[in-house]
Structure 1
């Protein structure tokens, strides 16, 4: 069983709401390119990093919060 709470959000607004809701707790945030219907991110770096991040979560203290934030689709972000 996980020692931390995982919260999945989409975009900046939801991320900030999650941070506010968990005020006072240790928060770990992971930002990833949005996933498709099969659960795969369009971002190859995110695909490689996620298993490493999840392995690291095995070592966090009890009561921490992990916020998984999907940041958007590639065409949207490409225009920034």
Structure 2
């Protein structure tokens, strides 16, 4: 399924966020990625952690088979973000301390978050996005492996191999 992406700035956030919340029940995962604006002189984010994390996050979300919504919330330029009174630093819902910050939004609250120093780590992104569904999937795979290793399927396969090895080799 395609990832649904919305963009917001500090000034447009409330409107975009309300739409994001209203559409949340349609998605398996609803994420907000707080990140730095692009530096106009380089066309890259002024935040090196954002430059490192963004492609990893996008790759993980774009390959998901689930409906995923991503709200990219741009914090502004460096001086705007550095202000201790930045709206998302003081907002009790978000309490941001760094960028990038990837949050899982469910039931009108943050259910998990990855801060700047860990937002680029693939298995942490998976754990945040898929949570218990990932654990359920891993348990299902482990059960399948256990069944193959201990079950009759393995014994049947071994017997088949032994029969092949015991069969006479036809010569010319």
Which category describes the TM-score, using the shorter chain as reference length? 0.7 to 0.9
Structure 1 SS opposite 2:45 = coil
For 1:21, the equivalent position in structure 2 comes to: 22
Residue 6 of structure 1 corresponds to which residue in structure 2? Answer: 5
> In structure 2, the residue corresponding to 1:29 is in which secondary structure?
strand
* 1:60 aligned partner: 64
Aligned-residue CA RMSD (Å): 2.2
TM-score normalised according to structure 1 size: 0.75
Q: Tell me, yes or no, if the aligned pair for 1:6 and 1:65 is still in contact at 8 Å.
A: yes
Equivalent residue runs for 1:42-57 within 5 Å = 42-57=46-61
Distance in 2 separating the partners of 1:28 and 1:61: 15
C-alpha separation in 1, matches of 2:50 and 2:16: 18
Name structure 2 gaps, 5 residues minimum: 85-172
- 1:54 to partner: Cα distance: 1.2
Instruction: Tell me which structure has the larger Cα radius of gyration.
Output: 2
Once residues 39 and 29 of structure 1 are traced to their aligned partners in structure 2, the CA distance between those partners, rounded to angstroms, is 22
What secondary structure is seen at the aligned counterpart in 2 of 1:23? helix
Structure 1 residue 16: Cα displacement = 2.4
3-state SS of the aligned residue for 1:72?
coil
Contact 1:34 1:71 in 2 (8 A): yes
- Count of matched residue pairs: 79
